[in-house]
Amino acid sequence: MFSFFSNGQSDLENRFSEANSDMSLRNMYQRIIWNMQPTNEYLFDQNKGEVRYIVDEKGYEVVIKPKVLGTFNLDDKTFLWSDKNPSIHSELNDKVHAFRNTLPKKYRKNKFKSTTDFNKNLLSLFSFQLNANGFDSKRQGNAIIYYALLEVHIFKNNEEILVLQPKSHITVREEQNSIDLIKEFHNEKLKINKLHNENVIDTDEAFKNIKEVHLQYWLNEDSYFYPALSWPCDFDEKSVLEWKTFSTNDDRLFVMYTTDLGWTTESYAYEINTEAKGKKAIIYEY
């Protein structure tokens, strides 16, 4: 059931902010659990009312019950609500009418000029109000389709191993020490990348130094996670918009940060070993 808010644009921005903060955590949880990412092969089957993802890295097949918000035409830059699109099956768009009526009037039209950033905000708010597991969007020809992820069914070797009902599966925690640890790690890496970019140190020395820093903070010493050299760095504190810590139902602890890449925002997370002594505590990155 949707609650009604005032039609002010500032109020809508506040709602977007609240939804984005929550849904970024839910999408991250999907990445952690089944490696949800844009490169996964997928099939959107309207007749079955499902989206099927193939996750080769984990050997998973993930079947999701979606609710479609709408589509964005890349040619004329218009957004069309799914319940006004005859090509979208009604069982996939039955939540859209109620959601649209909570928005300012200019967004209640069948279609309107929009941007991909605004569409993502709309999708985040729609998914948040549905208490969805997350959301996704896919390009199909000259259009992008936006949808919320409700039930998530994870299969391996044709056997269902996990079902995620639509809700949040994480607990936000106050773990400033863990955030400070990652900030310190990032700052050490940033210094080396900056020196390399300014030609103060050569590539061999930069790789040697950044590996040494990495091993000071990573409990998992698998070389797969050794950092590359880059400039600018997306983990530069000046670009980071938000820090969060959260735990999953099995008491795994994560530090997540959202960074501004210039053309979009992206979230990343580190898993922290809560039993580790000192700063050598990172065990995985998502």
Could you report the per-residue pLDDT of 156-197, keeping only the tens digit for each? Answer: 999 999 999 999 999 999 999 999 999 999 999 999 999 999
Instruction: Give residue 265's pLDDT band: very low, low, confident or very high (50, 70, 90).
Output: confident
- Indicate if 35 and 148 belong to the same structural domain: yes
Output the pLDDT for position 7: 46
Q: Is the pLDDT of residue 79 over 80?
A: yes
- What is the overall mean pLDDT for the chain? 95
Task: State the CB neighbour count (10 A cutoff) for residue 104.
Answer: 13
- Indicate if 179 and 118 belong to the same structural domain: no
Taking CA atoms, 93 is separated from 65, 71, 218, 268, in Å, by 12, 12, 45, 31
Work out the percent of the chain whose per-residue pLDDT is above 70. 97
The CA distance from 63 to 34, in Å, is 11
Say if 3 falls within a structural domain.
no
The last residue of a domain, from among 118, 134, 168 = 168
Say if 251 falls within a structural domain.
yes
Output the pLDDT for position 5: 43
- Indicate if 99 and 137 belong to the same structural domain: yes
Phi-psi region of 5 (alpha: psi -120 to 50; beta: other; left: phi over 0): beta
The CA distance from 174 to 136, in Å, is 28
Say if 4 falls within a structural domain.
no
Domain that holds residue 270: 171-285
Strand pairing partners for 4?
Answer: none
Residue range 202-259, pLDDT digits in tens: 999 999 999 999 999 999 999 999 999 999 999 999 999 999 999 999 999 999 999 9
- Indicate if 198 and 149 belong to the same structural domain: no
- Give the max Cα distance, the chain: 61
Say if 215 falls within a structural domain.
yes
Cα dihedral sign for 273, 279, 280, 284? positive
Number of domain units in the chain: 2
pTM: 0.91
Output the pLDDT for position 263: 82
Output the pLDDT for position 10: 82
Q: If you average pLDDT over residues 25-47, what whole number do you get?
A: 96
- Indicate if 163 and 223 belong to the same structural domain: no
Output the pLDDT for position 217: 98
- Indicate if 21 and 140 belong to the same structural domain: yes
Q: Is the pLDDT of residue 6 over 50?
A: no
Taken as a whole, the chain contains a residue count of 286
